[in-house]
A and B are shown apart, each in its own frame.
Chain A
Amino acid sequence: MKRVVSLAVLVTIVLGMSLLLALSGQSFYPSENLRWLAIVYLNTTYNPYLPDFTVWSPEAVTAIVWDYRGLDTLYETTVFYLAIISGLALGRGVKRLNQKPTDESGLSPIVKTVTKITGPMILAVAASIGLHGHLTPGGGFQGGATAAVVPVVFIVVFSSFYLLWKGVSSQRMLTLRSAGLIGIGLTSIALFLAGLLLGLPSYVFQNIAKAGSPLSMPYDVHGALLSGTLWWFNLFEFLAVSSGFTLAFIILMTPEAEEKW
C-alpha cells in the first residue's frame, strides 16, 4: 500500500511538471534574444578591443564566478570552510587508531594494482580541470572535488591507515587547506596592496585595469593566457577544496580507539 502511494505521488509530480512545461511553452518560452546582462558578459569576457572591461578569459563562467561576481564565490568558499571546520569540531578530542597497514588489509591485489594506476590519472585530470579553468569548462572547485575522489578510493581499496602511513595526515591536510585559503585571500587583495605601495588607486578583487585604476594582474605569460587573478584563484581553490574533502574523509573513515569509560 505504501509503495502504491509513493509511486502515485511520484507519477503525479512527474505528470504535473510535464503538463506545466507543456502549457507554459505556449504562454512563456525563453526567447532566443539574450538579455542585455548576458550580452555584456559575453562581449567583454575575452575582448582585446575593450581593455578596460575585459577579463582576458574565453571561459565566461569562470570569469563570472571569479571576476564579475568574485565576492559571491569568496563567501561560498567561506561556507565550505565553516562546514569542514564544524565537521572537524564533531570529531575533536577523539583518539584515532594508527596501525601499520598490511598486505592482507583492503581489497584484492587486482583492485589495488588498478587503483595504483588510475589514482595518478584521476589526479592529472583533476589538475587539468582546475588549472585550465580559465580556458575550458571547469575551475578550482570542480578540479578539487575530482581530486578528492582519489583519497576516498585509496581508503576504500587499501585501508584507512594507508594514507596516514604514506604521509597524508589530517594535520598536513589542514595546513594545505589553510595555505589555499590564505592564497585566496592574498590574491583578492594583491592589487589593492600593490596600489597602496605604488600610490595608485586600486580596488579589492581587482583583476584587470579599469578606468581610473591602471593596475592589472599579468594576464598572459609568453602568449599563454593566465587571465589575471582567475588562474591563481583556481589554483588556491583547488588546493583548499581537495585538501578540505580529504581532511573530512580522513576524520570520518579512521576508526576510533576504544575508550575506557
Chain B
Amino acid sequence: MSLDLLIYAVGAFASLMSVVAVYLALVERDLVKAVIYSAIQSVFYSLLFYLFMSPDIVLVYLPVAGGVLPALLLVLISKTERFERE
C-alpha cells in the first residue's frame, strides 16, 4: 500500500513539474531555453510512463523527445531566429 502511495506521489509530483516546465517553455522568449524546458517536460513524462508500467513507451519517448526532437528544433532555430518577437 505504501509503495502504491509512493508511486502515486512521485507521479503527481512529476505531472505537476511537467506543467511548470510547459508554462516556462510557453512564456520563454529565448527559443533555445524554451526547447530545453520542453525537453525537461519530456523527461518528467517519461518518468510518468515508467511509473505507470509502460517501459516500451519510455524507451521510445526518452531518445525521441529527449534527444532527437530538441536537436531537430535547435537546428531549426539556428537556421532562423533565436528570439521570439512581439
Contact = CB atoms under 8 A, between A and B. Distances in A.
Interface string A135-175: 00111011001101100100010000000000000000000
A10 interface: yes
B22 interface: yes
Contacts of A248: 72
Contact of B23 (A10, A142, A145): A10
A61 interface: yes
Contacts of B59: 129, 137-139, 142, 146
A133 to B, nearest CB: 9
A141 B19 contact: no
A145 B27 contact: no
Given A3-B27, A14-B19, A152 B71 contact: yes
Nearest to A149: B67
Main secondary structure of the interface of B (DSSP, over half): helix
Contacts of A137: 55-56, 58-59
Which of A6, A10, A62 has the most C-beta atoms of chain B within 10 angstroms of its own C-beta?
Answer: A10
B5 interface: no
Nearest to B72: A252
